[in-house]
Amino acid sequence: MPPRTSVPPPRRLPLIVTSDGDLLDDLLRLAAAGGVTAEVATDPAAARSRWQSAPLVLVGSDQARSCLRARLPHRPRLVLVGRSGDLDPGWEIAELVGAEHVAVLPAAEPWLVDRFAECGADPPGAGARLVAVLGGRGGAGASVLAGGLAVTAARSRLRTLLVDADPLGGGLDLVLGWEQLDGLRWPALTDAEGRVDAPALVRALPRRGDLVMLSWDRGDPLPLPAEAMAATLDAARRGRDFVVVDCPRRLDDAAVTALQSVDRTLVVVPAELRATAAAARVVAAAAPHCADLSVVVRGPAPGRLKAAEVARALGLPLAGTLRPEPALCRGLERGEAPAADGRGPLAALCQRIVAELGGTTTAGAA
Protein backbone atom coordinates (compact mmCIF):
# COMPACT_ATOMS: atom_id res chain seq x y z
CA MET A 1 0.00 0.00 0.00
CA PRO A 2 1.52 3.36 -0.94
CA PRO A 3 1.90 5.90 1.86
CA ARG A 4 -0.81 8.48 2.36
CA THR A 5 0.13 11.71 0.70
CA SER A 6 -1.00 15.24 1.39
CA VAL A 7 -1.38 17.94 -1.23
CA PRO A 8 0.72 21.04 -0.61
CA PRO A 9 -1.41 24.07 -1.45
CA PRO A 10 -0.04 27.52 -2.04
CA ARG A 11 -0.23 29.79 0.98
CA ARG A 12 -3.61 31.49 1.04
CA LEU A 13 -3.43 35.10 2.18
CA PRO A 14 -5.96 37.11 4.17
CA LEU A 15 -7.84 39.71 2.15
CA ILE A 16 -8.45 43.34 3.09
CA VAL A 17 -11.24 45.18 1.25
CA THR A 18 -11.02 48.94 1.69
CA SER A 19 -10.22 52.12 -0.22
CA ASP A 20 -9.56 54.06 3.00
CA GLY A 21 -5.81 54.66 2.95
CA ASP A 22 -5.49 55.30 6.69
CA LEU A 23 -7.48 52.19 7.58
CA LEU A 24 -5.46 50.13 5.10
CA ASP A 25 -2.20 51.31 6.67
CA ASP A 26 -3.46 50.25 10.09
CA LEU A 27 -4.57 46.82 8.89
CA LEU A 28 -1.35 46.14 7.00
CA ARG A 29 0.57 47.06 10.15
CA LEU A 30 -1.53 44.61 12.18
CA ALA A 31 -1.04 41.89 9.56
CA ALA A 32 2.73 42.39 9.75
CA ALA A 33 2.51 42.14 13.53
CA GLY A 34 0.69 38.83 13.06
CA GLY A 35 3.46 37.57 10.78
CA VAL A 36 1.52 37.47 7.49
CA THR A 37 1.21 39.41 4.26
CA ALA A 38 -2.30 40.46 3.25
CA GLU A 39 -3.81 40.92 -0.19
CA VAL A 40 -5.69 44.16 -0.83
CA ALA A 41 -8.80 44.92 -2.89
CA THR A 42 -10.12 48.46 -3.09
CA ASP A 43 -13.70 47.43 -3.88
CA PRO A 44 -15.97 44.34 -4.17
CA ALA A 45 -15.23 43.87 -7.88
CA ALA A 46 -11.52 43.52 -7.16
CA ALA A 47 -12.24 41.26 -4.18
CA ARG A 48 -14.64 38.85 -5.88
CA SER A 49 -12.10 36.37 -7.29
CA ARG A 50 -10.40 35.99 -3.90
CA TRP A 51 -13.48 36.34 -1.69
CA GLN A 52 -14.08 32.65 -1.01
CA SER A 53 -10.53 31.31 -1.05
CA ALA A 54 -9.02 33.75 1.45
CA PRO A 55 -8.70 32.32 4.98
CA LEU A 56 -9.81 35.66 6.47
CA VAL A 57 -11.56 38.67 4.93
CA LEU A 58 -11.59 42.12 6.54
CA VAL A 59 -14.11 44.54 5.05
CA GLY A 60 -13.55 48.18 5.86
CA SER A 61 -16.55 50.20 6.94
CA ASP A 62 -16.18 52.26 3.76
CA GLN A 63 -16.87 49.19 1.58
CA ALA A 64 -19.53 47.40 3.65
CA ARG A 65 -22.53 48.71 1.75
CA SER A 66 -20.74 48.26 -1.57
CA CYS A 67 -20.16 44.59 -0.71
CA LEU A 68 -23.84 44.28 0.17
CA ARG A 69 -24.90 45.79 -3.16
CA ALA A 70 -22.46 43.51 -4.99
CA ARG A 71 -24.24 40.48 -3.46
CA LEU A 72 -20.99 38.80 -2.49
CA PRO A 73 -21.84 35.44 -0.92
CA HIS A 74 -21.75 34.94 2.83
CA ARG A 75 -18.60 33.18 3.99
CA PRO A 76 -16.92 32.16 7.24
CA ARG A 77 -14.35 34.38 9.01
CA LEU A 78 -15.59 37.67 7.60
CA VAL A 79 -14.86 40.69 9.80
CA LEU A 80 -16.25 44.23 9.47
CA VAL A 81 -13.58 46.66 10.64
CA GLY A 82 -13.41 50.41 11.17
CA ARG A 83 -13.25 53.13 13.75
CA SER A 84 -16.02 53.75 16.26
CA GLY A 85 -17.38 56.81 14.47
CA ASP A 86 -17.54 54.94 11.16
CA LEU A 87 -19.37 51.82 12.35
CA ASP A 88 -22.63 53.12 13.75
CA PRO A 89 -24.83 51.06 13.59
CA GLY A 90 -22.10 48.47 13.03
CA TRP A 91 -23.95 45.26 13.86
CA GLU A 92 -26.85 46.06 11.55
CA ILE A 93 -24.68 46.29 8.44
CA ALA A 94 -22.48 43.44 9.72
CA GLU A 95 -25.46 41.10 9.82
CA LEU A 96 -26.51 42.12 6.31
CA VAL A 97 -23.09 41.38 4.78
CA GLY A 98 -22.69 38.19 6.83
CA ALA A 99 -19.82 39.34 9.05
CA GLU A 100 -19.10 37.14 12.06
CA HIS A 101 -17.40 39.94 14.00
CA VAL A 102 -17.20 43.73 14.16
CA ALA A 103 -13.71 45.00 14.99
CA VAL A 104 -13.54 48.59 16.24
CA LEU A 105 -10.12 50.23 16.12
CA PRO A 106 -8.00 50.88 18.06
CA ALA A 107 -9.51 48.69 20.79
CA ALA A 108 -9.64 45.57 18.58
CA GLU A 109 -6.02 45.76 17.41
CA PRO A 110 -4.70 42.91 19.64
CA TRP A 111 -7.63 40.70 18.60
CA LEU A 112 -6.96 41.39 14.90
CA VAL A 113 -3.25 40.59 15.31
CA ASP A 114 -4.29 37.18 16.69
CA ARG A 115 -6.64 36.59 13.75
CA PHE A 116 -3.86 37.43 11.28
CA ALA A 117 -1.47 35.16 13.17
CA GLU A 118 -3.93 32.27 12.81
CA CYS A 119 -3.73 32.68 9.02
CA GLY A 120 0.01 32.10 9.14
CA ALA A 121 -0.15 29.22 11.62
CA ASP A 122 -1.12 26.45 9.21
CA PRO A 123 1.69 23.91 8.89
CA PRO A 124 3.14 23.32 5.41
CA GLY A 125 0.82 21.09 3.41
CA ALA A 126 -2.29 21.93 5.43
CA GLY A 127 -5.51 22.35 3.50
CA ALA A 128 -6.92 20.67 0.44
CA ARG A 129 -6.51 21.44 -3.23
CA LEU A 130 -9.81 22.13 -4.98
CA VAL A 131 -10.70 21.57 -8.63
CA ALA A 132 -14.01 22.25 -10.39
CA VAL A 133 -15.29 20.62 -13.59
CA LEU A 134 -17.77 22.18 -16.04
CA GLY A 135 -19.43 20.79 -19.14
CA GLY A 136 -19.07 22.87 -22.27
CA ARG A 137 -22.45 21.49 -23.37
CA GLY A 138 -24.91 18.92 -22.12
CA GLY A 139 -23.49 15.40 -22.15
CA ALA A 140 -19.91 16.63 -22.53
CA GLY A 141 -18.64 14.20 -19.90
CA ALA A 142 -17.90 16.63 -17.06
CA SER A 143 -19.44 14.39 -14.39
CA VAL A 144 -17.42 11.41 -15.61
CA LEU A 145 -14.21 13.46 -15.45
CA ALA A 146 -15.15 14.73 -11.98
CA GLY A 147 -15.77 11.19 -10.80
CA GLY A 148 -12.55 9.98 -12.38
CA LEU A 149 -10.52 12.71 -10.68
CA ALA A 150 -12.02 11.88 -7.28
CA VAL A 151 -11.50 8.13 -7.70
CA THR A 152 -7.91 8.70 -8.86
CA ALA A 153 -7.09 10.96 -5.92
CA ALA A 154 -8.57 8.46 -3.46
CA ARG A 155 -6.58 5.61 -5.07
CA SER A 156 -3.47 7.62 -4.21
CA ARG A 157 -4.56 7.68 -0.57
CA LEU A 158 -5.57 11.33 -0.70
CA ARG A 159 -8.54 12.00 1.55
CA THR A 160 -10.97 13.09 -1.15
CA LEU A 161 -14.38 14.77 -1.30
CA LEU A 162 -16.51 14.70 -4.47
CA VAL A 163 -19.18 17.43 -4.51
CA ASP A 164 -22.19 17.35 -6.84
CA ALA A 165 -23.14 21.01 -7.31
CA ASP A 166 -25.71 20.40 -10.08
CA PRO A 167 -29.22 19.96 -8.65
CA LEU A 168 -30.59 19.12 -12.12
CA GLY A 169 -27.92 16.59 -13.02
CA GLY A 170 -28.39 12.86 -12.93
CA GLY A 171 -26.53 12.52 -9.64
CA LEU A 172 -22.88 11.68 -9.09
CA ASP A 173 -23.87 8.77 -6.88
CA LEU A 174 -25.04 7.05 -10.08
CA VAL A 175 -21.73 7.82 -11.82
CA LEU A 176 -19.86 6.07 -9.02
CA GLY A 177 -22.48 3.36 -8.45
CA TRP A 178 -23.10 4.67 -4.92
CA GLU A 179 -26.85 5.23 -5.00
CA GLN A 180 -27.45 2.57 -2.33
CA LEU A 181 -24.89 3.92 0.16
CA ASP A 182 -26.24 5.52 3.32
CA GLY A 183 -25.31 9.07 4.28
CA LEU A 184 -26.46 12.66 4.10
CA ARG A 185 -27.31 14.33 0.81
CA TRP A 186 -27.52 18.04 -0.04
CA PRO A 187 -31.13 18.58 1.11
CA ALA A 188 -30.02 17.85 4.68
CA LEU A 189 -27.23 20.45 4.45
CA THR A 190 -28.82 23.36 2.60
CA ASP A 191 -29.17 25.34 5.85
CA ALA A 192 -25.45 25.06 6.63
CA GLU A 193 -23.54 28.30 7.01
CA GLY A 194 -20.63 29.63 9.01
CA ARG A 195 -17.99 27.16 10.18
CA VAL A 196 -18.91 23.49 9.68
CA ASP A 197 -17.09 20.82 11.69
CA ALA A 198 -14.99 19.01 9.07
CA PRO A 199 -14.75 15.58 10.79
CA ALA A 200 -18.49 15.58 11.50
CA LEU A 201 -19.25 16.37 7.86
CA VAL A 202 -17.05 13.54 6.61
CA ARG A 203 -18.60 11.04 9.03
CA ALA A 204 -22.11 11.95 7.87
CA LEU A 205 -21.52 11.51 4.11
CA PRO A 206 -21.52 8.34 1.96
CA ARG A 207 -18.00 6.98 1.75
CA ARG A 208 -15.78 4.18 0.54
CA GLY A 209 -12.23 4.22 1.83
CA ASP A 210 -10.63 7.63 1.37
CA LEU A 211 -13.42 8.93 -0.89
CA VAL A 212 -16.55 10.64 0.44
CA MET A 213 -19.27 12.24 -1.67
CA LEU A 214 -21.90 14.93 -1.28
CA SER A 215 -24.65 14.50 -3.86
CA TRP A 216 -28.43 14.80 -4.22
CA ASP A 217 -31.29 12.53 -3.26
CA ARG A 218 -34.09 11.52 -5.63
CA GLY A 219 -36.56 14.12 -4.32
CA ASP A 220 -37.61 17.36 -5.95
CA PRO A 221 -34.66 19.60 -6.85
CA LEU A 222 -34.00 22.33 -4.29
CA PRO A 223 -32.04 25.57 -4.67
CA LEU A 224 -28.58 25.27 -3.17
CA PRO A 225 -27.69 28.38 -1.15
CA ALA A 226 -24.28 29.91 -1.69
CA GLU A 227 -23.80 29.95 2.08
CA ALA A 228 -24.15 26.16 2.24
CA MET A 229 -21.60 25.70 -0.53
CA ALA A 230 -19.18 28.13 1.11
CA ALA A 231 -19.46 26.41 4.49
CA THR A 232 -19.05 22.96 2.94
CA LEU A 233 -15.98 23.87 0.90
CA ASP A 234 -14.43 25.65 3.87
CA ALA A 235 -14.83 22.48 5.94
CA ALA A 236 -13.51 20.39 3.04
CA ARG A 237 -10.41 22.54 2.66
CA ARG A 238 -9.67 22.03 6.34
CA GLY A 239 -10.57 18.35 6.57
CA ARG A 240 -9.66 16.77 3.21
CA ASP A 241 -6.62 16.58 0.92
CA PHE A 242 -8.37 16.84 -2.44
CA VAL A 243 -11.81 18.17 -3.42
CA VAL A 244 -13.58 17.86 -6.79
CA VAL A 245 -16.71 19.93 -7.54
CA ASP A 246 -18.97 19.02 -10.47
CA CYS A 247 -20.60 22.34 -11.44
CA PRO A 248 -23.70 23.00 -13.58
CA ARG A 249 -23.35 24.76 -16.92
CA ARG A 250 -25.95 27.34 -15.90
CA LEU A 251 -24.20 28.96 -12.96
CA ASP A 252 -26.22 29.66 -9.85
CA ASP A 253 -24.91 31.44 -6.74
CA ALA A 254 -23.63 28.18 -5.26
CA ALA A 255 -21.73 27.30 -8.44
CA VAL A 256 -20.20 30.77 -8.57
CA THR A 257 -19.11 30.33 -4.96
CA ALA A 258 -17.48 27.02 -5.88
CA LEU A 259 -15.65 28.50 -8.87
CA GLN A 260 -14.34 31.33 -6.71
CA SER A 261 -13.11 28.83 -4.11
CA VAL A 262 -11.24 26.30 -6.25
CA ASP A 263 -7.62 26.31 -7.36
CA ARG A 264 -8.34 25.15 -10.91
CA THR A 265 -11.36 24.80 -13.20
CA LEU A 266 -11.62 22.41 -16.15
CA VAL A 267 -14.24 22.76 -18.89
CA VAL A 268 -14.91 19.58 -20.87
CA VAL A 269 -15.71 20.10 -24.55
CA PRO A 270 -16.41 17.45 -27.21
CA ALA A 271 -14.35 17.94 -30.36
CA GLU A 272 -17.31 19.27 -32.34
CA LEU A 273 -18.05 22.68 -33.85
CA ARG A 274 -21.43 23.16 -32.13
CA ALA A 275 -20.04 21.95 -28.82
CA THR A 276 -17.25 24.52 -29.09
CA ALA A 277 -19.77 27.27 -29.82
CA ALA A 278 -21.85 26.23 -26.81
CA ALA A 279 -18.74 26.04 -24.63
CA ALA A 280 -17.85 29.61 -25.56
CA ARG A 281 -20.97 30.77 -23.73
CA VAL A 282 -20.15 28.67 -20.69
CA VAL A 283 -16.57 29.97 -20.64
CA ALA A 284 -17.75 33.59 -20.92
CA ALA A 285 -19.97 33.12 -17.84
CA ALA A 286 -17.42 31.17 -15.80
CA ALA A 287 -14.14 32.92 -16.60
CA PRO A 288 -14.67 36.02 -14.40
CA HIS A 289 -14.94 33.73 -11.37
CA CYS A 290 -12.01 31.39 -12.13
CA ALA A 291 -8.41 31.82 -11.05
CA ASP A 292 -7.21 29.10 -13.45
CA LEU A 293 -9.46 27.93 -16.31
CA SER A 294 -8.43 25.39 -18.96
CA VAL A 295 -10.11 23.01 -21.40
CA VAL A 296 -10.23 19.23 -21.75
CA VAL A 297 -11.22 18.15 -25.26
CA ARG A 298 -13.04 14.83 -25.65
CA GLY A 299 -13.07 12.73 -28.79
CA PRO A 300 -14.16 11.49 -31.19
CA ALA A 301 -13.87 14.35 -33.66
CA PRO A 302 -16.42 13.67 -36.45
CA GLY A 303 -15.20 16.69 -38.45
CA ARG A 304 -11.53 16.12 -37.55
CA LEU A 305 -11.51 19.21 -35.33
CA LYS A 306 -8.23 19.23 -33.44
CA ALA A 307 -8.00 19.74 -29.68
CA ALA A 308 -5.63 22.66 -30.14
CA GLU A 309 -8.17 24.32 -32.43
CA VAL A 310 -10.91 23.96 -29.81
CA ALA A 311 -8.66 25.45 -27.14
CA ARG A 312 -7.64 28.29 -29.43
CA ALA A 313 -11.27 29.06 -30.31
CA LEU A 314 -12.11 29.30 -26.59
CA GLY A 315 -9.01 31.28 -25.74
CA LEU A 316 -7.99 28.75 -23.08
CA PRO A 317 -4.96 26.58 -22.41
CA LEU A 318 -5.39 22.91 -23.28
CA ALA A 319 -5.34 20.77 -20.12
CA GLY A 320 -5.61 17.46 -21.96
CA THR A 321 -7.54 15.27 -24.35
CA LEU A 322 -9.69 12.17 -23.97
CA ARG A 323 -9.92 9.44 -26.57
CA PRO A 324 -13.14 7.39 -26.84
CA GLU A 325 -13.39 4.52 -24.34
CA PRO A 326 -16.25 2.14 -25.18
CA ALA A 327 -15.39 -0.02 -22.16
CA LEU A 328 -15.76 3.03 -19.89
CA CYS A 329 -19.28 3.70 -21.20
CA ARG A 330 -20.28 0.08 -20.65
CA GLY A 331 -18.83 0.13 -17.15
CA LEU A 332 -20.77 3.25 -16.18
CA GLU A 333 -24.01 1.55 -17.17
CA ARG A 334 -23.08 -1.32 -14.83
CA GLY A 335 -22.37 1.03 -11.92
CA GLU A 336 -18.58 0.86 -12.18
CA ALA A 337 -16.79 4.02 -11.07
CA PRO A 338 -14.77 5.81 -13.79
CA ALA A 339 -10.99 5.28 -13.70
CA ALA A 340 -11.43 2.71 -10.93
CA ASP A 341 -8.88 0.29 -12.44
CA GLY A 342 -6.30 3.03 -13.09
CA ARG A 343 -6.06 2.18 -16.79
CA GLY A 344 -7.15 3.90 -20.00
CA PRO A 345 -7.13 7.48 -21.32
CA LEU A 346 -9.41 8.87 -18.59
CA ALA A 347 -7.35 7.36 -15.78
CA ALA A 348 -4.10 8.62 -17.35
CA LEU A 349 -5.45 12.16 -17.69
CA CYS A 350 -6.79 12.14 -14.12
CA GLN A 351 -3.46 10.92 -12.77
CA ARG A 352 -1.66 13.76 -14.52
CA ILE A 353 -4.12 16.43 -13.37
CA VAL A 354 -3.98 15.27 -9.74
CA ALA A 355 -0.19 15.31 -9.92
CA GLU A 356 -0.18 18.80 -11.43
CA LEU A 357 -2.34 20.03 -8.57
CA GLY A 358 0.26 18.81 -6.13
CA GLY A 359 -0.92 15.29 -5.35
CA THR A 360 0.91 12.04 -5.98
CA THR A 361 -0.72 9.27 -7.98
CA THR A 362 0.26 5.63 -7.99
CA ALA A 363 -0.79 3.66 -11.06
CA GLY A 364 -2.42 0.41 -10.06
CA ALA A 365 -2.87 1.31 -6.40
CA ALA A 366 -5.57 -0.67 -4.65
Question: Using CA atoms, how far apart are residues 171 and 207, in angstroms rounded to an integer?
Answer: 15
Helical H segments across 262-335, by residue range: 273-286, 307-314, 326-333
For residue 105, list its beta bridge partners.
83
Beta strands 207-208; 211-214: pairing state: antiparallel
Question: Using CA atoms, how far apart are residues 215 and 183, in angstroms rounded to an integer?
Answer: 10
Scored b (16 or more CB within 10 A) or e, 257-294 reads bbbbbbbbbbbbbbbbeebbebbeebbebbeebbeebb
How far CA 7 is from CA of 200, 227, 238, in Å, comes to: 21, 26, 12
Residues 6+ apart with CB under 8 A from 250: none
Tens digit of each residue's pLDDT, the chain (366 residues): 333 443 444 567 899 999 999 999 999 999 999 889 999 999 999 998 888 878 899 999 999 999 989 888 878 889 999 987 777 666 788 888 888 899 999 999 999 999 998 887 544 445 689 999 999 999 999 999 999 999 999 999 999 999 999 988 878 888 999 988 999 888 887 666 656 677 888 889 999 999 999 998 877 777 888 888 888 888 888 889 999 999 999 999 899 989 988 999 999 999 999 999 999 999 999 999 898 999 999 999 999 999 999 999 999 999 999 999 988 888 888 888 999 999 999 999 999 999 998 755 444 332
